[in-house]
Structure 1
Amino acid sequence: MSTRTRDPQTLGGAGTLDRMARILAARNIDPASLEDMVDDPEPFSPLEALSAGMPPRYREAQADHPKVLTWARDVAEQSVAPSLGARRQVTTGPSLLMAGVVGAGKTHQAYGAIRLLIRTGLGVRWRATTAADLYADLRPRPGVDSERELATISRCPVLLIDDLGAAKASEWVEEVTYRLINRRYNLMLPTLVTTNLAIKDLRACLGDRVTSRLAQMTDRVEFEPVDRRRHRTAT
Protein backbone atom coordinates (compact mmCIF):
# COMPACT_ATOMS: atom_id res chain seq x y z
CA MET A 1 0.00 0.00 0.00
CA SER A 2 1.25 3.45 -0.80
CA THR A 3 2.40 5.46 2.19
CA ARG A 4 2.53 8.80 0.41
CA THR A 5 0.82 11.77 2.03
CA ARG A 6 -1.74 13.57 -0.08
CA ASP A 7 -0.97 17.21 -0.82
CA PRO A 8 -3.52 19.39 1.00
CA GLN A 9 -4.15 21.16 -2.31
CA THR A 10 -5.71 17.93 -3.61
CA LEU A 11 -8.44 18.37 -1.06
CA GLY A 12 -8.80 22.07 -1.71
CA GLY A 13 -6.52 23.24 1.10
CA ALA A 14 -6.64 23.08 4.88
CA GLY A 15 -9.81 25.16 5.03
CA THR A 16 -11.69 22.70 2.86
CA LEU A 17 -10.40 19.78 4.91
CA ASP A 18 -11.61 21.40 8.12
CA ARG A 19 -14.98 22.12 6.56
CA MET A 20 -15.34 18.53 5.36
CA ALA A 21 -14.41 17.27 8.82
CA ARG A 22 -17.18 19.38 10.35
CA ILE A 23 -19.68 18.08 7.80
CA LEU A 24 -18.69 14.49 8.52
CA ALA A 25 -18.95 15.03 12.27
CA ALA A 26 -22.45 16.50 11.83
CA ARG A 27 -23.42 13.29 9.99
CA ASN A 28 -21.94 11.03 12.69
CA ILE A 29 -18.99 10.04 10.51
CA ASP A 30 -15.52 9.95 12.04
CA PRO A 31 -13.61 12.96 10.63
CA ALA A 32 -10.40 10.95 10.99
CA SER A 33 -11.59 8.82 8.08
CA LEU A 34 -10.39 11.64 5.79
CA GLU A 35 -6.85 10.46 6.51
CA ASP A 36 -7.62 7.14 4.79
CA MET A 37 -8.29 8.84 1.45
CA VAL A 38 -4.68 8.37 0.42
CA ASP A 39 -5.14 6.59 -2.89
CA ASP A 40 -8.54 7.98 -3.86
CA PRO A 41 -8.01 9.88 -7.13
CA GLU A 42 -11.19 11.96 -6.74
CA PRO A 43 -11.63 14.97 -4.42
CA PHE A 44 -14.00 14.65 -1.50
CA SER A 45 -17.08 16.68 -2.45
CA PRO A 46 -19.67 18.26 -0.14
CA LEU A 47 -22.36 16.25 -1.94
CA GLU A 48 -20.61 12.99 -1.06
CA ALA A 49 -20.17 14.03 2.56
CA LEU A 50 -23.78 15.12 3.02
CA SER A 51 -25.24 12.20 1.10
CA ALA A 52 -23.32 9.89 3.41
CA GLY A 53 -25.80 10.85 6.12
CA MET A 54 -28.73 9.48 4.13
CA PRO A 55 -30.03 5.92 4.38
CA PRO A 56 -28.32 3.84 1.66
CA ARG A 57 -31.67 3.23 -0.06
CA TYR A 58 -32.12 6.94 -0.74
CA ARG A 59 -28.59 8.11 -1.51
CA GLU A 60 -29.39 8.14 -5.23
CA ALA A 61 -33.00 9.35 -4.85
CA GLN A 62 -34.17 11.64 -7.65
CA ALA A 63 -37.08 14.04 -7.21
CA ASP A 64 -39.23 14.38 -10.32
CA HIS A 65 -42.69 15.36 -9.07
CA PRO A 66 -43.45 18.93 -10.31
CA LYS A 67 -44.54 20.21 -6.89
CA VAL A 68 -41.50 18.69 -5.19
CA LEU A 69 -39.20 20.31 -7.75
CA THR A 70 -40.98 23.63 -7.22
CA TRP A 71 -40.47 23.32 -3.46
CA ALA A 72 -36.72 22.78 -3.90
CA ARG A 73 -36.48 25.71 -6.31
CA ASP A 74 -38.35 28.04 -3.96
CA VAL A 75 -36.22 27.05 -0.96
CA ALA A 76 -33.06 27.64 -2.99
CA GLU A 77 -34.29 31.04 -4.16
CA GLN A 78 -34.91 32.15 -0.57
CA SER A 79 -31.45 31.13 0.64
CA VAL A 80 -29.10 33.91 1.74
CA ALA A 81 -25.37 34.37 2.22
CA PRO A 82 -24.44 35.20 5.85
CA SER A 83 -21.67 37.51 4.64
CA LEU A 84 -20.21 38.92 1.44
CA GLY A 85 -18.63 36.15 -0.60
CA ALA A 86 -19.94 33.36 1.66
CA ARG A 87 -21.91 30.41 0.37
CA ARG A 88 -25.67 30.88 0.49
CA GLN A 89 -27.44 29.01 3.29
CA VAL A 90 -30.96 27.68 3.57
CA THR A 91 -32.70 29.87 6.12
CA THR A 92 -36.46 30.19 5.55
CA GLY A 93 -38.75 28.82 2.89
CA PRO A 94 -41.95 26.93 2.08
CA SER A 95 -42.97 23.54 3.43
CA LEU A 96 -44.51 20.56 1.65
CA LEU A 97 -47.00 17.90 2.78
CA MET A 98 -46.99 14.71 0.72
CA ALA A 99 -49.88 12.30 1.25
CA GLY A 100 -50.48 8.90 -0.30
CA VAL A 101 -50.68 5.17 0.30
CA VAL A 102 -47.77 3.12 1.57
CA GLY A 103 -45.19 2.70 -1.20
CA ALA A 104 -46.39 5.61 -3.33
CA GLY A 105 -42.89 7.11 -3.48
CA LYS A 106 -43.27 9.95 -0.98
CA THR A 107 -40.08 9.24 0.97
CA HIS A 108 -38.09 8.78 -2.24
CA GLN A 109 -39.28 12.17 -3.49
CA ALA A 110 -38.49 13.82 -0.13
CA TYR A 111 -34.90 12.58 -0.03
CA GLY A 112 -34.55 13.45 -3.70
CA ALA A 113 -35.60 17.02 -2.89
CA ILE A 114 -32.93 17.28 -0.19
CA ARG A 115 -30.30 15.91 -2.58
CA LEU A 116 -31.40 18.45 -5.15
CA LEU A 117 -30.81 21.28 -2.68
CA ILE A 118 -27.36 19.91 -1.87
CA ARG A 119 -26.46 19.67 -5.55
CA THR A 120 -27.17 23.36 -6.05
CA GLY A 121 -24.14 24.11 -3.88
CA LEU A 122 -26.13 25.66 -1.05
CA GLY A 123 -25.19 25.21 2.57
CA VAL A 124 -27.87 22.79 3.75
CA ARG A 125 -28.21 21.61 7.33
CA TRP A 126 -30.90 18.96 7.32
CA ARG A 127 -32.35 16.20 9.41
CA ALA A 128 -34.68 13.32 8.58
CA THR A 129 -36.70 11.18 10.97
CA THR A 130 -39.78 9.02 10.97
CA ALA A 131 -42.56 10.20 13.24
CA ALA A 132 -42.10 7.04 15.35
CA ASP A 133 -38.38 7.71 15.84
CA LEU A 134 -39.10 11.37 16.56
CA TYR A 135 -41.40 10.51 19.44
CA ALA A 136 -38.96 7.91 20.75
CA ASP A 137 -36.18 10.52 20.78
CA LEU A 138 -38.35 13.12 22.51
CA ARG A 139 -39.98 10.89 25.12
CA PRO A 140 -38.82 11.97 28.59
CA ARG A 141 -36.39 9.50 30.16
CA PRO A 142 -33.46 9.62 32.60
CA GLY A 143 -30.25 11.05 31.22
CA VAL A 144 -31.84 12.68 28.18
CA ASP A 145 -32.70 16.37 27.84
CA SER A 146 -35.79 15.97 25.65
CA GLU A 147 -36.51 19.70 25.72
CA ARG A 148 -33.08 20.46 24.29
CA GLU A 149 -33.58 17.80 21.63
CA LEU A 150 -36.94 19.31 20.68
CA ALA A 151 -35.34 22.76 20.41
CA THR A 152 -32.58 21.37 18.17
CA ILE A 153 -35.03 19.65 15.82
CA SER A 154 -37.31 22.68 15.80
CA ARG A 155 -34.50 24.95 14.56
CA CYS A 156 -32.96 22.62 11.97
CA PRO A 157 -33.07 24.54 8.65
CA VAL A 158 -34.51 21.60 6.66
CA LEU A 159 -36.48 18.83 8.36
CA LEU A 160 -38.09 15.70 6.90
CA ILE A 161 -40.79 14.07 9.06
CA ASP A 162 -41.69 10.74 7.48
CA ASP A 163 -44.95 8.87 8.17
CA LEU A 164 -46.63 11.57 10.25
CA GLY A 165 -49.85 10.17 11.72
CA ALA A 166 -48.57 6.59 11.87
CA ALA A 167 -47.92 6.66 15.63
CA LYS A 168 -50.64 5.80 18.11
CA ALA A 169 -52.59 8.94 18.98
CA SER A 170 -52.30 10.31 22.52
CA GLU A 171 -52.38 13.66 24.27
CA TRP A 172 -48.59 13.58 24.58
CA VAL A 173 -48.08 12.81 20.86
CA GLU A 174 -50.46 15.60 19.88
CA GLU A 175 -48.78 18.09 22.21
CA VAL A 176 -45.23 17.30 21.06
CA THR A 177 -46.27 17.40 17.41
CA TYR A 178 -47.96 20.74 17.90
CA ARG A 179 -44.95 22.26 19.66
CA LEU A 180 -42.60 21.13 16.89
CA ILE A 181 -44.83 22.17 14.00
CA ASN A 182 -45.78 25.47 15.63
CA ARG A 183 -42.13 26.44 16.16
CA ARG A 184 -41.25 25.65 12.56
CA TYR A 185 -44.37 27.51 11.42
CA ASN A 186 -43.32 30.62 13.35
CA LEU A 187 -39.71 30.41 12.15
CA MET A 188 -40.84 29.71 8.56
CA LEU A 189 -38.41 26.80 8.25
CA PRO A 190 -38.66 24.45 5.25
CA THR A 191 -40.30 21.22 6.37
CA LEU A 192 -41.06 18.10 4.34
CA VAL A 193 -43.85 15.96 5.75
CA THR A 194 -45.04 12.62 4.42
CA THR A 195 -48.13 10.77 5.61
CA ASN A 196 -49.99 7.62 4.64
CA LEU A 197 -53.25 9.25 5.68
CA ALA A 198 -55.52 11.13 3.35
CA ILE A 199 -55.21 14.83 4.04
CA LYS A 200 -58.84 14.96 5.16
CA ASP A 201 -58.09 12.31 7.83
CA LEU A 202 -55.17 14.11 9.43
CA ARG A 203 -57.34 16.22 11.71
CA ALA A 204 -58.78 13.21 13.54
CA CYS A 205 -55.29 11.85 14.14
CA LEU A 206 -53.28 14.99 14.90
CA GLY A 207 -55.85 17.42 16.27
CA ASP A 208 -57.06 20.83 15.14
CA ARG A 209 -54.01 22.83 16.22
CA VAL A 210 -51.52 20.72 14.26
CA THR A 211 -53.61 20.43 11.12
CA SER A 212 -54.38 24.15 11.15
CA ARG A 213 -50.66 24.97 11.19
CA LEU A 214 -49.92 22.40 8.49
CA ALA A 215 -52.69 23.80 6.30
CA GLN A 216 -51.20 27.29 6.53
CA MET A 217 -47.51 26.42 6.18
CA THR A 218 -47.52 23.69 3.52
CA ASP A 219 -48.32 23.16 -0.09
CA ARG A 220 -49.98 19.77 -0.44
CA VAL A 221 -49.38 16.89 -2.83
CA GLU A 222 -51.65 13.84 -2.99
CA PHE A 223 -49.85 10.94 -4.66
CA GLU A 224 -51.69 8.49 -6.86
CA PRO A 225 -53.04 5.48 -4.89
CA VAL A 226 -50.44 3.09 -6.30
CA ASP A 227 -47.99 1.09 -4.19
CA ARG A 228 -44.87 1.45 -6.31
CA ARG A 229 -42.93 -1.02 -4.16
CA ARG A 230 -45.49 -3.76 -4.82
CA HIS A 231 -45.65 -2.81 -8.50
CA ARG A 232 -41.87 -3.11 -8.90
CA THR A 233 -41.94 -6.53 -7.20
CA ALA A 234 -44.71 -7.74 -9.48
CA THR A 235 -42.91 -6.62 -12.62
Structure 2
Amino acid sequence: MSREPELLGAGVLQRLQRVLAVRGMNLQNLPEAPADAQPYTSLALLEARLPPRYRTACADHPDVLAWTRDVIARAEAPNPGARRQITTGPSLLLAGVTGAGKTHQAYGAVRALAEVGLVLRWRATTAADLYADLRPRPGHDTERALEKVSCHPLLILDDLGAAKASEWVEEITYRLINRRYNLMLPTLITTNLAMRDLRDQLGDRVASRLAEMTTRVTFEPVDRRRRHHTA
Protein backbone atom coordinates (compact mmCIF):
# COMPACT_ATOMS: atom_id res chain seq x y z
CA MET A 1 0.00 0.00 0.00
CA SER A 2 1.31 3.45 -0.89
CA ARG A 3 2.32 5.60 2.03
CA GLU A 4 1.95 8.84 0.09
CA PRO A 5 -0.53 11.19 1.76
CA GLU A 6 -3.75 10.88 -0.19
CA LEU A 7 -4.71 14.50 0.37
CA LEU A 8 -1.60 15.90 -1.32
CA GLY A 9 -1.71 16.84 -4.97
CA ALA A 10 0.84 15.69 -7.52
CA GLY A 11 2.65 19.04 -7.50
CA VAL A 12 2.98 19.06 -3.72
CA LEU A 13 4.25 15.46 -3.75
CA GLN A 14 6.89 16.28 -6.34
CA ARG A 15 8.16 19.24 -4.30
CA LEU A 16 8.18 17.11 -1.15
CA GLN A 17 10.13 14.37 -2.92
CA ARG A 18 12.73 16.89 -4.13
CA VAL A 19 13.21 18.28 -0.62
CA LEU A 20 13.60 14.77 0.81
CA ALA A 21 16.04 13.79 -1.94
CA VAL A 22 18.31 16.70 -1.00
CA ARG A 23 18.35 15.29 2.53
CA GLY A 24 19.05 11.76 1.33
CA MET A 25 15.54 10.54 2.18
CA ASN A 26 12.81 8.80 0.21
CA LEU A 27 9.10 9.34 0.72
CA GLN A 28 8.44 5.61 0.32
CA ASN A 29 10.85 4.77 3.17
CA LEU A 30 9.29 7.05 5.77
CA PRO A 31 7.86 5.30 8.83
CA GLU A 32 4.24 4.24 8.79
CA ALA A 33 1.92 6.65 10.55
CA PRO A 34 0.14 5.28 13.61
CA ALA A 35 -3.15 3.58 12.82
CA ASP A 36 -5.10 6.24 14.68
CA ALA A 37 -3.30 9.19 13.08
CA GLN A 38 -5.58 11.70 11.38
CA PRO A 39 -4.70 13.12 7.94
CA TYR A 40 -4.22 16.83 7.61
CA THR A 41 -7.56 18.45 6.87
CA SER A 42 -8.27 21.60 4.90
CA LEU A 43 -8.82 23.38 8.21
CA ALA A 44 -5.47 22.26 9.64
CA LEU A 45 -3.65 23.36 6.50
CA LEU A 46 -5.51 26.68 6.56
CA GLU A 47 -4.63 27.39 10.17
CA ALA A 48 -0.96 26.80 9.41
CA ARG A 49 -1.08 29.67 6.90
CA LEU A 50 -3.28 32.11 8.79
CA PRO A 51 -1.65 35.09 10.51
CA PRO A 52 -1.67 34.37 14.26
CA ARG A 53 -4.01 37.31 14.90
CA TYR A 54 -6.68 35.76 12.67
CA ARG A 55 -6.09 32.07 13.36
CA THR A 56 -9.38 31.73 15.24
CA ALA A 57 -11.31 34.28 13.19
CA CYS A 58 -15.00 33.48 12.86
CA ALA A 59 -17.31 35.12 10.36
CA ASP A 60 -20.61 36.16 11.91
CA HIS A 61 -21.81 39.02 9.72
CA PRO A 62 -25.03 37.92 7.92
CA ASP A 63 -23.83 39.13 4.50
CA VAL A 64 -20.47 37.41 4.89
CA LEU A 65 -22.15 34.17 5.96
CA ALA A 66 -24.46 34.41 2.94
CA TRP A 67 -21.38 34.78 0.74
CA THR A 68 -19.81 31.62 2.18
CA ARG A 69 -23.01 29.66 1.53
CA ASP A 70 -23.08 30.86 -2.06
CA VAL A 71 -19.42 29.93 -2.69
CA ILE A 72 -19.96 26.50 -1.10
CA ALA A 73 -23.04 25.90 -3.25
CA ARG A 74 -21.06 26.64 -6.43
CA ALA A 75 -18.05 24.49 -5.55
CA GLU A 76 -17.45 21.55 -7.86
CA ALA A 77 -15.38 18.37 -7.86
CA PRO A 78 -12.90 18.22 -10.78
CA ASN A 79 -13.65 14.51 -11.25
CA PRO A 80 -15.78 11.78 -9.63
CA GLY A 81 -14.65 10.98 -6.11
CA ALA A 82 -12.56 14.13 -5.73
CA ARG A 83 -13.21 16.77 -3.11
CA ARG A 84 -15.06 19.87 -4.17
CA GLN A 85 -13.15 23.06 -4.81
CA ILE A 86 -13.89 26.67 -5.62
CA THR A 87 -14.56 27.36 -9.28
CA THR A 88 -16.49 30.62 -9.59
CA GLY A 89 -18.43 32.72 -7.15
CA PRO A 90 -19.48 36.16 -5.94
CA SER A 91 -17.24 38.80 -4.39
CA LEU A 92 -17.60 41.10 -1.39
CA LEU A 93 -16.46 44.66 -0.76
CA LEU A 94 -16.13 45.03 3.02
CA ALA A 95 -16.13 48.74 3.82
CA GLY A 96 -15.77 50.59 7.10
CA VAL A 97 -13.41 52.43 9.41
CA THR A 98 -10.12 51.00 10.60
CA GLY A 99 -10.67 48.39 13.30
CA ALA A 100 -14.31 47.67 12.45
CA GLY A 101 -13.60 43.96 11.90
CA LYS A 102 -13.42 43.76 8.10
CA THR A 103 -10.22 41.71 7.89
CA HIS A 104 -11.40 39.47 10.75
CA GLN A 105 -14.59 38.69 8.83
CA ALA A 106 -12.63 38.02 5.61
CA TYR A 107 -10.35 35.46 7.27
CA GLY A 108 -13.34 34.01 9.12
CA ALA A 109 -15.09 33.48 5.79
CA VAL A 110 -12.12 31.54 4.43
CA ARG A 111 -12.10 29.47 7.60
CA ALA A 112 -15.79 28.68 7.11
CA LEU A 113 -15.02 27.31 3.64
CA ALA A 114 -12.30 25.07 5.06
CA GLU A 115 -14.59 23.79 7.80
CA VAL A 116 -16.91 22.19 5.23
CA GLY A 117 -13.97 20.37 3.63
CA LEU A 118 -13.50 22.33 0.42
CA VAL A 119 -10.12 22.18 -1.28
CA LEU A 120 -8.82 25.72 -0.87
CA ARG A 121 -6.33 27.52 -3.07
CA TRP A 122 -6.29 31.02 -1.66
CA ARG A 123 -4.07 33.99 -1.14
CA ALA A 124 -4.24 37.02 1.15
CA THR A 125 -2.37 40.28 0.64
CA THR A 126 -2.72 43.93 1.41
CA ALA A 127 -2.97 46.19 -1.60
CA ALA A 128 0.25 47.92 -0.57
CA ASP A 129 2.14 44.61 -0.33
CA LEU A 130 0.76 43.55 -3.69
CA TYR A 131 2.01 46.71 -5.39
CA ALA A 132 5.41 46.30 -3.72
CA ASP A 133 5.64 42.75 -5.05
CA LEU A 134 4.70 43.84 -8.55
CA ARG A 135 7.14 46.73 -8.81
CA PRO A 136 9.48 46.08 -11.76
CA ARG A 137 12.93 44.98 -10.64
CA PRO A 138 15.74 42.86 -12.10
CA GLY A 139 15.15 39.13 -12.03
CA HIS A 140 11.48 39.40 -11.14
CA ASP A 141 8.78 38.47 -13.67
CA THR A 142 6.06 40.92 -12.69
CA GLU A 143 3.72 39.77 -15.45
CA ARG A 144 3.82 36.20 -14.17
CA ALA A 145 3.33 37.39 -10.59
CA LEU A 146 0.29 39.43 -11.62
CA GLU A 147 -1.12 36.51 -13.57
CA LYS A 148 -0.81 34.19 -10.56
CA VAL A 149 -2.60 36.50 -8.14
CA SER A 150 -5.21 37.41 -10.75
CA CYS A 151 -6.14 33.77 -11.33
CA HIS A 152 -6.04 32.49 -7.74
CA PRO A 153 -9.37 30.77 -7.03
CA LEU A 154 -9.86 32.85 -3.87
CA LEU A 155 -8.23 36.16 -2.97
CA ILE A 156 -8.34 38.43 0.07
CA LEU A 157 -7.28 41.93 -1.01
CA ASP A 158 -6.94 43.96 2.16
CA ASP A 159 -6.93 47.75 2.51
CA LEU A 160 -7.71 48.68 -1.09
CA GLY A 161 -7.23 52.39 -1.63
CA ALA A 162 -4.70 52.87 1.17
CA ALA A 163 -1.67 53.05 -1.12
CA LYS A 164 -0.60 56.32 -2.72
CA ALA A 165 -2.45 56.91 -5.97
CA SER A 166 -0.58 56.91 -9.27
CA GLU A 167 -1.19 55.94 -12.88
CA TRP A 168 0.78 52.73 -12.30
CA VAL A 169 -1.27 51.77 -9.22
CA GLU A 170 -4.49 52.46 -11.10
CA GLU A 171 -3.38 50.35 -14.07
CA ILE A 172 -2.22 47.38 -11.96
CA THR A 173 -5.41 47.46 -9.90
CA TYR A 174 -7.55 47.58 -13.02
CA ARG A 175 -5.75 44.62 -14.60
CA LEU A 176 -6.11 42.57 -11.41
CA ILE A 177 -9.78 43.40 -10.82
CA ASN A 178 -10.71 43.06 -14.49
CA ARG A 179 -9.22 39.57 -14.77
CA ARG A 180 -11.01 38.39 -11.66
CA TYR A 181 -14.20 40.03 -12.91
CA ASN A 182 -13.97 38.22 -16.25
CA LEU A 183 -13.12 34.87 -14.62
CA MET A 184 -15.85 35.35 -11.96
CA LEU A 185 -13.40 34.45 -9.20
CA PRO A 186 -14.52 35.14 -5.62
CA THR A 187 -12.64 38.04 -4.06
CA LEU A 188 -12.88 39.48 -0.56
CA ILE A 189 -11.87 43.13 -0.66
CA THR A 190 -11.59 45.39 2.39
CA THR A 191 -11.40 49.18 2.24
CA ASN A 192 -11.76 52.22 4.45
CA LEU A 193 -13.04 54.30 1.54
CA ALA A 194 -16.49 55.04 0.16
CA MET A 195 -17.08 54.07 -3.47
CA ARG A 196 -16.79 57.68 -4.63
CA ASP A 197 -13.39 57.90 -2.94
CA LEU A 198 -12.28 54.62 -4.50
CA ARG A 199 -13.31 56.08 -7.85
CA ASP A 200 -11.16 59.16 -7.22
CA GLN A 201 -8.25 57.00 -6.00
CA LEU A 202 -8.31 54.18 -8.58
CA GLY A 203 -10.31 55.49 -11.53
CA ASP A 204 -13.68 54.87 -13.14
CA ARG A 205 -12.75 51.51 -14.66
CA VAL A 206 -11.87 49.93 -11.31
CA ALA A 207 -14.86 51.45 -9.53
CA SER A 208 -17.22 50.26 -12.26
CA ARG A 209 -15.95 46.67 -12.07
CA LEU A 210 -16.13 46.68 -8.28
CA ALA A 211 -19.68 48.02 -8.30
CA GLU A 212 -20.79 45.22 -10.63
CA MET A 213 -18.83 42.26 -9.27
CA THR A 214 -19.17 42.83 -5.51
CA THR A 215 -21.83 43.07 -2.87
CA ARG A 216 -20.95 46.00 -0.63
CA VAL A 217 -21.01 45.23 3.10
CA THR A 218 -20.78 48.32 5.31
CA PHE A 219 -19.48 47.90 8.86
CA GLU A 220 -20.49 50.03 11.80
CA PRO A 221 -18.21 53.02 12.50
CA VAL A 222 -16.77 51.54 15.70
CA ASP A 223 -13.08 50.70 16.12
CA ARG A 224 -13.31 47.24 17.69
CA ARG A 225 -9.60 47.21 18.52
CA ARG A 226 -9.99 50.33 20.68
CA ARG A 227 -13.18 48.97 22.24
CA HIS A 228 -11.41 45.73 23.23
CA HIS A 229 -8.56 47.68 24.82
CA THR A 230 -10.93 49.83 26.88
CA ALA A 231 -13.35 47.04 27.82
What are the residue-to-residue correspondences of 1:1-235 with 2, within 5 Å? Answer: 14-16=4-6, 18-19=8-9, 22=12, 43=38, 44-235=40-231
Aligned-pair identity (%): 63
> What's the C-alpha RMSD, in Å, of the aligned pairs?
2.6
Give the equivalent residue in structure 2 for 1:5: none
Instruction: Spell out, residue by residue over 1:88-143, the C-alpha distance to the aligned partner (whole angstroms, 9 max, x if none).
Output: 11010000000000000000000000010111111110000000100001111101
Q: Is the 8 A contact 1:20 1:46 kept in 2?
A: no
Q: TM-score, normalised by structure 1?
A: 0.85
Residue 36 of structure 1: CA displacement? 11
TM-score (norm 2): 0.87
Letter in 2 for 1:147: E
Helix, strand or coil at the partner of 1:179:
helix
Q: List alignment gaps of at least 5 residues for structure 1.
A: 1-7
- How far apart, CA to CA, are the structure 1 residues paired with 2:4 and 2:49? 23
Moved more, 200-209 or 93-102: 200-209
Secondary structure in 1 aligned to 2:66?
A: helix
- Distance apart, 1:37 and its partner CA: 11
Q: Deviations over 1:15-62 (max 9, x none)?
A: 426459939x79xxx899x979989x7523331112211111111100
Q: Give, in whole Å, the separation in 1 of the partners of 2:203 and 2:73.
A: 33
Sort the Cα spacing of 1:69 and 1:20 in 2 relative to 1 into closer, same or farther, 3 A.
farther
Paired positions, count: 219
Equivalent residues of 1:99, 1:199 under 8 A apart: no
CA–CA separation in structure 1 for the residues paired with 2:104 and 2:151: 24
Code of the aligned partner of 1:111: Y
3-state SS, counterpart of residue 173 of structure 2: helix
